[in-house]
Structure 1
Amino acid sequence: MRTLLLLSAFVFSHVTAADTLTTENYIVEVESRCAEGSVSCNDVHYTGVSKVSGNRINLEGKTWHTKCADGVTPCRFLGYRFENGNTTYIVLESGVLRVVQGKDRVLVDEKGTWSY
């Protein structure tokens, strides 16, 4: 019985949570694979599907936060960041999907709706 309780505690401490952002042209599923209650997470999965072409991309990334006054500690949650070569996929908590190539070439900037 004790082993079962320990196993249950381990399984539920690493709950994955997937949320879906739907924009005009994309459906993006974001899955956090960190322990529930974690402030930041470096194990987040992105699956994006184009509504137009049906093309799919899978990426690994992390949560994105502002920094607290000490310049190190994560403060306010902004969303998620995923890198693919020199292209950055940003999924904001506010429902914006932004894909930026290089430093400033915006390829996608669409507002969508989250479903949880």
Structure 2
Amino acid sequence: MLAAALTFLLVSPVVADTLVTDNYTIKIQVNCPEGNVTCDDVSYHGTSHKSGEQLSLKGKTISKTCADGVTPCQFLGYQFKNGNTIYKVLESGQLLVEQNGKTLVDESGAWSYQ
């Protein structure tokens, strides 16, 4: 039983990265096995530098598709939904928060990879 648990941990490591912008720190945790092109099990844990408020969400990776319109070709970042609010954390270091088509937050930051 222990061997099976250790094998699972070796096969499916958790990847956690942190994006820090002027106003937020966002920790992203990818809960899919390494090597998956896409993942529908990503965690977002954001903290406001001003208020200290925290928000945790579940989401997925987002990718640009290949010419066939189906196959993912380029990783773009992550997307999380909270009601009608969409949070995007992009590989470029951009945090976008949109609600009903209006941009609420558009900040760039730096990634800290662990």
Describe how 1:94-109 pairs up with structure 2 within 5 A: 94-103=92-101, 105-109=102-106
| Alignment match, 2:46 | 48
| Alignment match, 2:30 | 32
| Alignment match, 2:107 | 110
Q: Unmatched 5+ residue regions in structure 1? A: none
Distance 2:50 2:63 in 1: 31
Q: What is the deviation of 1:7?
A: 3.6
Percent pairwise identity = 52
| Alignment match, 1:14 | 12
Q: Give the partner amino acid of 2:7.
A: A
Count of residue pairs brought into register by the alignment: 113
Q: What is the deviation of 1:69?
A: 1.3
Using the size of structure 2 for normalisation, the TM-score is: 0.94
Q: Give the partner amino acid of 2:41.
A: D
RMSD: 1.2
